[in-house]
Structure 1
Amino acid sequence: MKVTSHRDEIRVSRLLGASRYRVEKPFLSEGVIYGFFGATLGLLISFLLSLYFQGPLNRFFDPVKFIESDPFFYLSVAALEIIGGILVGYFSSWLSVRRFIKF
């Protein structure tokens, strides 16, 4: 949607000699930023919900003993989620740019 609203600016910049990379770069970087903040917000919300429901779930599942995992596991999952969010943001922006900017 952002690409279509800037279609005239893109045409003018291409007519002035801007390279394809120069035209695509702002949209791709915006997609990366949206992906990063979206994944970070998702992590924050899931962490807060897990803290809120930890007590009731532990009481409900009291007879079941869960295997404890180390903090490195949770950090690696968080890092993978953030990397995944960045990649989704980048590739969705890339597809949008490729669809609407045809040179």
Structure 2
Amino acid sequence: MPLTRGRIVGYDDERLAFGFTMLNDGVTVDCQISDAAMDELAGVRGSPSTARQGQFLEYRDVIEGIASRLFDDVRPVKGAMVRIFTKHIPANRRDTGTNSR
């Protein structure tokens, strides 16, 4: 069953990742996407941390779809975080040339 949209947590300077939550039948699932994965998705490199929320909002549907797929594939233990890295970004989404900055 796909996860549903939760809330935006925000940028984590220590982990260099953007946090958000998803819901699994009403239970909160913590999720993160790495800076590198978000840049890979956007087809850019080295976006500043101040741009991450805007980047997340622009690609939110895709990012949440990836998180949902990873959750379904792995079925993490209760309390585990779903983490998205560059290897999880579909090849057809990489370096599309759209949204280059």
For normalisation by structure 1, the TM-score amounts to 0.26
Of the two structures, which has the highest relative contact order with CA contacts closer than 8 Å and spacing of 6 or more? 1
Q: Which has the higher Rg, Structure 1 or Structure 2?
A: 1
Which has more helix, going by share of residues?
A: 1
For normalisation by structure 2, the TM-score amounts to 0.26
Which has more strand, going by share of residues?
A: 2
